[in-house]
Amino acid sequence: MSRATCATIHLDALRKNLHRIRLAAPASQVMAVVKADGYGHGLERVARAFSAADAFGVAALSDAERLRAAGEIKRIVLLSGPDEAADISRLRDLQVDIVIHHESQLRLLSEAGAGDSLRVWLKIDTGMSRLGFAASQAMEVYRWLRECRHVDPDIVCMTHFACSDEFAKNMTSAQIQRFAEALDGADCVRSMANSAAVLGWPQSHAQWIRPGGALYGLSSVEGRTGVQLGLQPAMTLSTRLIADKWIEPGTTVGYGAGFVAPQRMRLGIAAIGYGDGYPRLAGTGTPILVGGRRTGLVGRVSMDLLALDLTDLPEARVGDPVVAWGEGLPIEEVATCAGTLGYELACGITRRVRFEERDR
C-alpha cells in the first residue's frame, strides 16, 4: 500500500482565483506567475488551469522550456532575464520575453548575433533594492533598448513593490510615484502590481498585473487568509490516521520529550512529517483536521509522523482522513504557527507526496 500523504490540486479553485483577480483589475492584462513549479502546485498543471491568462511569468529558462514542450503557445516572460550569451539564441528559439535589469544584460544584447528581435521588459528599482536599474537611469536605458537592433521596440517597463501587503503603509504610494517620475516622457506599457497590490492598490494596476500567490489562494497580507481575501485554496494536503493510544499524566511525547501530558490523553498518529514538507517548526497546538474536526499537534513534528490530540474526538478512528491544510483549515494558520508564510509551505511539498487533480 502506498503512503497516504497526498496533495490534491483543485483546478476549479485555480480558475476561480484567476477570475477574482481579473475582476479586481478589469482593464489590465494578466501575467500569471507560475515560478517555483507553479508555487508547488505543478507547472504544467497550473498553466492548463490558467489558460485564460494573457502570459506566464517564470523564474528559470528551464521552466519556459517545460511550458513550450507541453505545447504552451502563450506569451512567456523570463523574470530574471538572460544570464549568459548562449541564453539569447535559446530564448529566441522559444520566443520568450526577457526582463532586463542589469548592465551585464545590455552587453549580452549588444553582442547578440543576427536573429529575431527579443521582446523586453525593463525593470526599474523603485525601492525593493533587489533587481532593476536605478530610477535615475531608467530613461537612458529605455532609449538604449529602443535603439538596439535586437530588441522589439514595444518595451514594457516594470517595477516591484516591497510593502504592497501593508495597505496602511505609504511605501507603495512612494514607489508608484517614483516609477512615474522615472518614466516621465516614455510612451511605454507599464507593469507594477503583484498579488497584494492587485487587491489593495488599484492605482498600481496599469496595463499589466503580475499576480502570483493569490492565484493559488495564498495570502501575502499579514493577519488575513486567502479565504478572507475572497480566494479559494487550490491545494489540500492530507493523509490518514494510522494509530491511536491512551497515555497517562506525565507521559512524554515525541523527540526531545518536549511535551508532557498534563492529564490522561488519547493520542493519534498521522502519516505525515517534515519529509513530506510539513513544517518541522509547527509546535504543539498547531491546528489540524481529523475527520473534518479540528484538533492540535502534540510534541515535535518528525520526518514521517506527527502526534495529534484526540481526547475530545471520541469518534476518531484509525483510517480517518487527516487534513494538514486546505478547505476548512487555511494554510496561513499553519504557517503562522510555524513562523513562516503559506507560500513557503506550498512550495515545500516533497517528491514523495502523491499529487492528484480534482476539477470540482
Query: Choosing from 35, 39, 142, 274, which is the catalytic residue?
Result: 35
Q: Are 18 and 52 contacting, i.e. CB atoms less than 8 angstroms apart? A: yes
Q: Cell numbers at residue 18, please?
A: 484567476
Strands 287-290 and 321-325, bridge-based pairing: antiparallel
**56 phi, psi to nearest 5 deg:** -120, 140
Residue 245 is a catalytic residue: no
**Are residues 259 and 313 in contact, defined by beta-carbon separation less than 8 angstroms?**
no
Rounded to 5 degrees, what are φ and ψ at 46?
-70, -30
d(CA 262, CA 309): 12
Please tell me whether residue 352 adopts helix, strand or coil conformation.
coil
23: number of CA atoms within 13 Å, CB side? 9
Q: Are strands 55-58 and 208-209 parallel, antiparallel or unpaired?
A: unpaired
Q: Which of 123, 169, 255, 343 is catalytic?
A: 255
Report the 10 Å Cβ neighbour count for 39: 23
DSSP E strand stretches across 59-181: 75-78, 97-100, 120-125, 133-134, 156-158
Contacts of 306 (CB under 8 A, 6+ apart): 269, 270, 272, 273, 278, 288, 297
35 part of the active site: yes
Report the run of H or E that residue 10 belongs to, with start and end: strand 6-10
Active site residues: 35, 255
